[in-house]
Structure 1
Amino acid sequence: MSRRARVEPVPGEPAAVARTDSERVLVVADYHAGIEAGLRYERGVELESAADVRLARLERLLDRTGPDRLLVLGDLVHRIGPPDGDEVDELVRVVDRVTDRVPMTLVPGNHDGGVADAVAERAVDLAVVDSGGIRFGPVGFVHGHTWPASDVLRAEVVCMGHEHPTVKLADEVGGSRVERAWLRGRLDRSAFEGHVEGARNERVTETELVVVPAFNDRSGGTWVNVDGQTFLSPFLPDALPDGELYLLDGTRLGHYRRV
């Protein structure tokens, strides 16, 4: 099986199916449950909650892909710090509905500091792993806000979230639009030297890095093809010098800096 075949995007969706040695894993990133409550608190922005819409989309993906597990690549909730109120309500509903069907794993992101406690208090079944990520056979998973564990870097494919990659597309008459996109390509191990033990292990074959688009369409993103944009992850863009962009419908746009 090729490295690319290990992680296949679900056409038209900000989600992928990763094939490990023993499971088919549905992968989503940056769900940001409770984002409307967070935006109200942070910016005074009033938006009607889309919690039901998000959950329905996730359940349709479970129906469509029939995975053995759901893995969330961080930022399951939105507000940094312990979730509260509407955020907890949405979090518990999501975890309850998912774990009625399949096991659920969270690789915690920078917004997930209080998730484990919030879940434990309500006895819902969510496995929260170390922030350095986790590896299931040939596929590694990390949020991307901090340096990954060395075992994750030994995977054939590494999936990450955090960046919310988007692409700004312009037409010939000056109009433009911004779309969520996949960013993927060869992982450059030199970007991890001095931060991850054994980053340049010569026994490790070439690794592909897959940056997964945000599941939540209200969470913004990094315009990766616009000069002057600063990446959020400490190892991007250095770890992905030849990354290519793909739209959610599978359209290949080419090198992200030349789109």
Structure 2
Amino acid sequence: MDGGDSPSVSGSGSLVEPIPGEPAARARLDGETALVVSDYHAGIEVGLRYERGVELDSNADLRRIRLLGLLDRVDPDRVVVLGDLGHRIGSADGAESEELADLFDALGDRPVTLVRGNHDAGLESELADVGGERVTVTGPEGVRLGRVGFVHGHTWPSREVVESDVVCVGHEHPAVRLEDEVGGGRKERAWLRGPLRPEPFAEHLGVAVDEFDWRGPELIVFPAFNDRSGGTWVNVEGQGFLSPFLPRALVAADADVYLLDGTRLGPYRTV
């Protein structure tokens, strides 16, 4: 984002820059520009019907239009999805399968990298049918493209990912509860950004900290692209993180929350 309070990545040469007002970012990947989104959750309405008994009309067309609008705005070389492109755990079918087919038809020939999330098991054959060779699906441990690491966040990232300059994570769907002076409240999707510390990753990987090519990476936790998915309330006491490495891998005192419009709310524990 533009301006002094934007959540661009300090010290990283703005390798990853959130797009003002959107749950999406632009990333520079060694000669390529990528549009990065997380937690698209195609077909979520069917899931909500079965999981919670909630009846909602499908927003599939709106989701696709929003993403295509971002493609027009950014004109990236590729799209990176930080996991949970689909919603149903297992192979897609019905409305989800139709939504994915329509989405990839609209995306044209642009390459897509899907970092596998916990909802993406079984999607590879579906994506091979609708996206062909232009779709790459990584393992759940993530991937590094250029100087940027990408992982969904439901599992530990690979060593290659944490040895990046910036680490992009999804899965949490971070949100904040904001209250007015009369006690009314509203939920806002948010970005969480802060420096990582190496010790938890070294312990998990069974290596010494000084063995890392540690670059002091900045963590950027992406808001969910799908506004019908739940989220981690980062400023509500007792709300736990979903990722196995959060919050202990964060330098918590320096981890800030930003709204989609770029407003910096300050350290997430004090918002």
The two structures have a TM-score, normalised by structure 2, of: 0.91
Deviation string 1:112-139 (CA, Å, 9 cap, x unpaired) is 0011022234563421111111101110
Structure 2 match to 1:223:
233
Give how far 1:101 is off: 4.3
Instruction: State the distance in 2 between where 1:191 and 1:167 align.
Output: 26
Deviation string 1:29-82 (CA, Å, 9 cap, x unpaired) is 000000001111222211000000000000000000111110000000011122
CA RMSD of aligned residues (A): 1.5
Q: Which 4+ runs in 1 deviate beyond 4 A?
A: none
Give how far 1:13 is off: 0.0
Are the equivalent residues in 2 in contact too, given 1:68–1:103 (CA < 8 A)? yes
Are the equivalent residues in 2 in contact too, given 1:80–1:111 (CA < 8 A)? yes
Are the equivalent residues in 2 in contact too, given 1:150–1:197 (CA < 8 A)? no
Map 1:5-20 to 2 at 5 A. Answer: 5-20=14-29
Match of 1:119 among 117, 127, 147: 127
Structure 2 match to 1:247:
259
In structure 1, runs of 5+ residues without a counterpart are none
Map 1:1-259 to 2 at 5 A. Answer: 2-3=11-12, 5-98=14-107, 100-122=108-130, 124=132, 125-196=134-205, 198=207, 200=209, 201-240=211-250, 241=252, 242-259=254-271
Instruction: State the distance in 2 between where 1:93 and 1:112 align.
Output: 18
- Identity fraction in percent: 60
Matched position secondary structure for 1:25: strand
Moved more, 55-64 or 239-248: 239-248
Structure 1 match to 2:3:
none
The two structures have a TM-score, normalised by structure 1, of: 0.95
Are the equivalent residues in 1 in contact too, given 2:104–2:130 (CA < 8 A)? no
Are the equivalent residues in 2 in contact too, given 1:244–1:255 (CA < 8 A)? yes
Whichever residue aligns with residue 119 of structure 2, its letter is: H
Give how far 1:4 is off: 5.7
In structure 2, runs of 5+ residues without a counterpart are 1-9
Instruction: State the distance in 1 between where 2:37 and 2:213 align.
Output: 30
Give how far 1:92 is off: 1.7
Whichever residue aligns with residue 178 of structure 1, its letter is: K
Instruction: State the distance in 2 between where 1:120 and 1:57 align.
Output: 23
Matched position secondary structure for 1:177: strand
Instruction: State the distance in 1 between where 2:206 and 2:12 align.
Output: 23
Matched position secondary structure for 1:127: strand
Instruction: State the distance in 2 between where 1:155 and 1:196 align.
Output: 16
Give how far 1:146 is off: 0.2
Instruction: State the distance in 2 between where 1:159 and 1:64 align.
Output: 21
Whichever residue aligns with residue 134 of structure 1, its letter is: V
